Structure 1
Amino acid sequence: MRVTFLGTGAAMPHPERVQTGLLVEAAAGDARPLLVDCGAGILHRLSQTEPGYEAVSTVLLTHHHLDHVADLLPLVKARWLAGEEHLEIVGPTGTKELLDSELATHEYLDGRIDLTVREVSPGETVSVAGLAVDTYETRHSVQCLAYRFRAPDTARASDAEAPEEGGTPTGAQTGNHTGERSATSDAEGLSGESDAADGVTTEDVVPGAGERPGEFVFSGDSEAFEGLANFADGAQVLAHDCSFPDGIDVDNHPNPTQLGAALAGTDVERVYLTHQYPHTDGEEEAMIESVEAQFDGDVRVARDGLRFTV
């Protein structure tokens, strides 16, 4: 499995970070990669990748805040203009309502491509773009789902009991509209030079990659808490919301000390801090040290264009 951070920013603009989005490939060079979240700037980032936006036929949303969905309808339009005929949107309850509302405003896009919507609930395991995806409800101001990605023919690596907190499966709904180690991970980002094959990303090596079935967890937006840490236990890589440095009073997102406390004792090889507000500039080393004071794994700050394989 190969993961590319397309956008590692948040709701306030940053010159080196666009809003949230990740590209997840079941294997390197996957012809139909999965886009996870689609905040402002993600469509442009996709155009800089080797697959391109034309290859993305499935989008998985963690939640519906604007910095995670702003480029969703622009993606629909771009695929229509490029001659692509289908797009599947998968997300939590309310995803169909979100798309209905947007298409009601931009009626000329309705029916231009075959747009299908699938809603998933906390606690489900679903098949998305050739991957098995476990879901878990986070602690945020709106319903938000964390996702655990793995090969479809493997069981979860963790032997721990299921998390005590979170939702329970309630089924799925469908709808259809036809028609390296440093604070900055040594990543120059999508706009910098790179040794990567596609010339636009920087590779980061994960210890032990290939030695066991790779699993990756994305927190979406969330406070740090034990249940979510248990959900990530046993995964090789966790990308977790860490929007602000210590010393800033904030709800719905963790600071590094809170994240380190929640992850203490968790078996995760590497944690990437993502969803970064401009407040984190110059605080990266301190943030890493705060998490590592309580968590034994490798901690790095994600950057746009950083790519790793598990």
Structure 2
Amino acid sequence: MVSMKIQFLGSGVAIPWPGRVQSGIAVETENGRLLLFDCGAGVLQRLFESGRDPRDVDAIILTHLHLDHVADVLPLLKSRWLCEKSDCVIYGPHGTRDWLDGLIGLYPYLQGRFDLCVTELTPGRQITLDGSDCRLSCAAGVHSVPSLGYRLEDGGKIMVYAGDTQPCDSLMELAQGADVLIHECSFPLGFDVDCHTTPEMLEPYLDKLDVGKLYLTHLYPQMQGREQEALEYLRSRFKGEVHIASDLLEIDP
């Protein structure tokens, strides 16, 4: 068995940026299960580029239902069906089932083609993923729509993915003790925004944040050219490692 492996498939947002597609993270568990956290536009292609087959995905785990996090869900399901694999396990926030039913309902030729197991999660819930010893728990983020952050515990390693959010107590508590925290950093220092994150918005949490590595993702084009500035700011205030994610970057917790 190998330990948890994490690969960023998409580290960008809804606005195109060379080299970055929309949000998606592949996590391979200790027993070889493949979990896909979010599935924005471009993630299906990145999954292929990572050397994986769409049929390899054991579960899709959605933080929220904005297009840049879910646009490739149906293309992924169709790709699996075309390769004669119709089943899929999907986790997401409240509304995931209705959203998916409505989306599939727009395409008569896809109706009845999929065997989906959709589970809607609420903040504070913890589950054990089927067929593994992984524990998945979630907490609410602060975003313009209901959004969840996830904590995955597997093989003695802990990863937390915050999804889209501004920094908040619930997600920082979820992250305590994690080996890796993947947190959005949509905009650079000095940018006025809510429901998203800038480096200085993270600062109040850094002193008490017990996390080994912090990876910044979900970068808007406004961050281009200011990545090093963000890294230096956060590294001077955080005792752990700080890195900026890039598409197809592989990391070990």
- Runs of 4+ in structure 1 deviating by more than 6 angstroms, as ranges, are none
Q: Distance in 1 between matches of 2:91 and 2:174?
A: 20
Could you say which residue in structure 2 is the equivalent of 1:142?
145
Please give the per-residue CA displacement for 1:242-269, whole angstroms capped at 9, x wherever unaligned. 1010121111011001112222221111
CA distance in 1, matches of 2:58, 2:137: 20
Give distance in 2, aligned partners of 1:11 and 1:260. 26
Q: Which string of whole-angstrom CA distances, capped at 9 and with x for unpartnered residues, describes residues 190-220 of structure 1?
A: xxxxxxxxxxxxxxxxxxxxxxx21000000
Inter-partner Cα distance in structure 1 for 2:186 and 2:204? 16
Q: Find out whether 1:4 has 2:7 as its counterpart.
A: yes
The whole-number CA distance in structure 2 between the counterparts of 1:260 and 1:298 is 14
1:300 and 2:243 correspond: yes
Can you give the 5+ residue segments of structure 2 that lack an aligned partner in the other structure?
none
Is the 8 Å Cα contact of residues 132 and 149 (structure 1) preserved in structure 2? Answer: yes
Structure 2 length-normalised TM: 0.94
Counterpart CA distance in 2 for 1:261 and 1:297 is 15
Which of 240, 245, 249 is residue 188 of structure 2 equivalent to? 245
Find the aligned partners of 1:275 and 1:97 in 2 and give their Cα distance.
26
Aligned residues, how many?
248
Shift of 1:292: 2.3
1:77 counterpart SS class: helix
Whether the 8 Å contact between 1:2 and 1:24 is mirrored in structure 2 is yes
* Cross-structure match for 1:23: 26
**What is the TM-score when the length of structure 1 is the normalising length?**
0.77
Q: Residues 194-213 of structure 1: matches in 2 within 5 Å?
A: 213=156
What is the percent sequence identity of the aligned residues?
A: 42
Distance in 1, matches of 2:49 and 2:11, equals 16
DSSP 3-state at the match of 1:238 = strand
| Partner Cα separation in structure 2 for residue 127 and residue 25 of structure 1 | 15
Structure with larger Rg: 1
In the other structure, the counterpart of 2:115 is: 114
CA distance in 2, matches of 1:49, 1:148: 23
Q: What is the match of residue 83 of structure 2?
A: 82
Letter of the aligned partner of 2:139 in structure 1?
Y
Q: Secondary structure at the match of 2:145?
A: coil
Instruction: Provide the C-alpha distance between the structure 2 equivalents of 1:309 and 1:269, rounded to a whole number of angstroms.
Output: 11
Q: In proportion to residue count, which structure has more helix?
A: 2
- Equivalent residue in structure 2 for 1:283, among 205, 217, 226: 226
Deviation at 1:111, TM superposition (A): 1.5
| Superposition deviation, residue 21 in structure 1 | 0.3
In structure 2, the residue matched to 1:47 is 48
1:265 matches 2:208: yes
- Structure 1 residue 86: Cα displacement: 0.7
Does the 8 A contact of 2:151 with 2:161 survive in 1? yes
